[in-house]
Amino acid sequence: MENPVSHPLNTRSLFTVALSVALAITATGLGAQSVEATKPMALRTVMEKLGRDMQAVTGAISKEEWALVAELAPKIAKHAEPPLSEKMRILGWLGTDAGKFRDFDGHVHDAATAMGDAAKRGDGQAVITAFSKTQQSCLACHQSFRQSFVEQFYGKR
């Protein structure tokens, strides 16, 4: 296993981790507990907040409330992070796939930022395009990592 300390920690890599976990947790049920502890990982709270923000963006887009989209987009791009010990645990598990995770995270970050910029301009079509790219990046990450993440940190279901 690669040394997790050798991986640079940045917002993009952590955002990708967070997005992957969100659907992982949803897929196994919100009551799933860690194999190592009965207390859920802190990342669950981060992912729940991201999920609420993404749902709020969907509602704001449907009502053409561009100011709300502009307010929410940076919260998605620059979300809270789990504690360092949890990050290191996840990065250790990722090993050589950490770069792939970072790439997904970079795409999500860039798309969410573009969504906010478009909303500030009142460009609804560009908001929708950027939102779609955000969702596509989330889905690609989830499809790549969700099942193995859940098995690693929450046990086989």
CATH number at residue 135: 1.20.120.10
Cα gap 152→154, rounded to integer Å = 6
What is the mean predicted confidence (pLDDT) over 53-77?
98
What is the structure's pLDDT at 10? 53
10, part of any domain: no
Q: Is the pLDDT of residue 65 over 90?
A: yes
Q: Which amino acid is at 73?
A: A
- Could you give the CA distance from residue 86 to residue 121 in angstroms, rounded to a whole number? 38
Enclosing domain of residue 103:
42-149
4 occurs within a structural domain: no
- For residue 28, being part of any structural domain is answered with no
**Chain-wide mean pLDDT for the chain?**
81
Scanning the structure block, which residue is given the tokens 């919260």?
Answer: 75
For 73-108, the pLDDT digits (tens) are 999 999 888 899 998 999 999 999 999 988 998 999
Which of 102, 73, 76 has the alpha carbon at shortest distance from 90?
A: 102
Residue 55 lies in a domain: yes
Residue 37 in any domain: the answer is no
Question: What pLDDT is stored for residue 22 in this prediction?
Answer: 46
Q: What is the per-residue pLDDT for 107?
A: 94
Highest mean pLDDT among 4-13, 46-55, 109-118: 109-118
Specify which of 43-57, 60-74, 95-109 reaches the highest per-range mean pLDDT.
60-74
Q: Indicate whether 48 belongs to any domain.
A: yes
The number of beta carbons lying within 10 Å of the beta carbon of residue 8 is: 10
Q: Express as a percent the part of the chain with pLDDT over 70.
A: 75
What pTM, to 2 d.p., does this model score?
Answer: 0.72
Q: Tokens 């502890």 map to which residue?
A: 37
* Mean pLDDT in residue range 48-62: 95
Q: What is the pLDDT of residue 14?
A: 47
